[in-house]
Amino acid sequence: MDTRYSDLPEACKCPQCGYIIENPGRHCPSLGPCPVCGAPRLWRVRSNPGILVDENAIGAGAYTDIVEIVAPAEAESGSRVNITVRIKNLHSSTITIMADGALEYGGSYHPDIIFPADQVDTPGGWIAEFSGYFYMPDSPVTIHIYSFYYTVEGGWYFDDEMTKYVVLAPEISGRIVSKWVNKAPEGYRLPVPAAVAADGNTFEVGVRGRFTGDESTIVGMEVKVTDPDGKQRAAPAIDWTGMDPGEELEWEYNICRVDKPGPWKAVIKFVAKN
């Protein structure tokens, strides 16, 4: 049973293809996937157009409008992808808006998008923001976002939808040969991990990489440094350069002052320019 509702729905609708089951006699989630397109579940809607919205308005944004899905254009397989969904309240009064979504890939739907806070009371005309995330599969995905509004009768109703495509980031054929730290007074090209004093002096991170691809490519080293508190302290701009197969190059980046004792972390990645 869907614990969000005390009464049975008037109708259940697929947010993907629009298929509707009138007076299903049970709660929409118990009906399972859409029998037409295979979407993971059906959602409650009203069959009587005189109550709140007419049939054509459902899915077109009668009370809500998904304004934007903020997400990267590409992501690496297995990486966490953060997204922001912005939904506007089209009604004149405050309503509760909910964001939900699924990933589409491999010919099916995957309810893998997490919204830690998925409901917001939103005044009329305002835009609510929902922060969420998912983990990138090993294929391109379509982010499919749905909006819902809550009624005084005590039910959630599907209202609007939007999609955004995210491709896999290209894999780079290369490897990191060596990493080092430069800092006074400890020294130059100190192998990582290195022990340095938290004396406020600035340090540098250096890396040597070998390109192992078959064709010349523009590549660089992505460096992100966090302090002992887990706060990101540096993410210098990538210094792009062309590399030939088998070539080795070195990069050095000025980072920041060592102003906290404890372990600092540098994440270094060999990346290709699109």
Nearest-angstrom CA–CA distance, 229 and 126: 36
Instruction: Indicate yes or no: pTM above 0.85.
Output: no
Query: Tokens at residue 132, please?
Result: 């969420």
Nearest-angstrom CA–CA distance, 60 and 39: 18
User: What one-character-per-residue DSSP string does 115-133 give?
Assistant: -SS-EEEE-TT-EEEEEEE
Nearest-angstrom CA–CA distance, 231 and 205: 17
E strand or H helix at 178: strand 174-183
The answer to whether 8 and 27 are in contact (CB under 8 A) is yes
Give residue 54's pLDDT: 31
DSSP strand pairing (217-226 vs 265-272): antiparallel
Nearest-angstrom CA–CA distance, 239 and 252: 9
Nearest-angstrom CA–CA distance, 233 and 250: 22
Give residue 177's pLDDT: 92
Q: What angle do CA 29, 165, 82 make, to 5 degrees?
A: 75
Q: How confident is the prediction along the chain (274 residues), in pLDDT tens digits per residue?
A: 344 456 777 788 777 677 788 888 887 778 888 887 777 777 776 554 333 333 333 344 678 999 999 999 888 788 889 999 999 999 889 999 999 988 988 877 777 799 999 999 999 999 999 999 999 988 899 999 999 998 776 778 888 888 899 988 766 778 889 999 999 999 999 988 888 899 999 999 999 999 988 888 899 898 989 888 888 899 999 999 999 999 999 999 999 899 999 889 888 888 887 6
Give residue 6's pLDDT: 63
Nearest-angstrom CA–CA distance, 112 and 135: 8
Give residue 48's pLDDT: 41
Find tokens 């009768």 and name the residue: 153
Domains and CATH numbers, the chain: 58-168 (2.60.40.10), 174-272 (2.60.40.10)
> 195 Cβ partners below 8 Å, 6+ apart?
186
Can you name the residues that pair with 208 across neighbouring β-strands?
178, 250
Q: How many CB atoms sit inside 10 A of residue 193's CB? A: 11
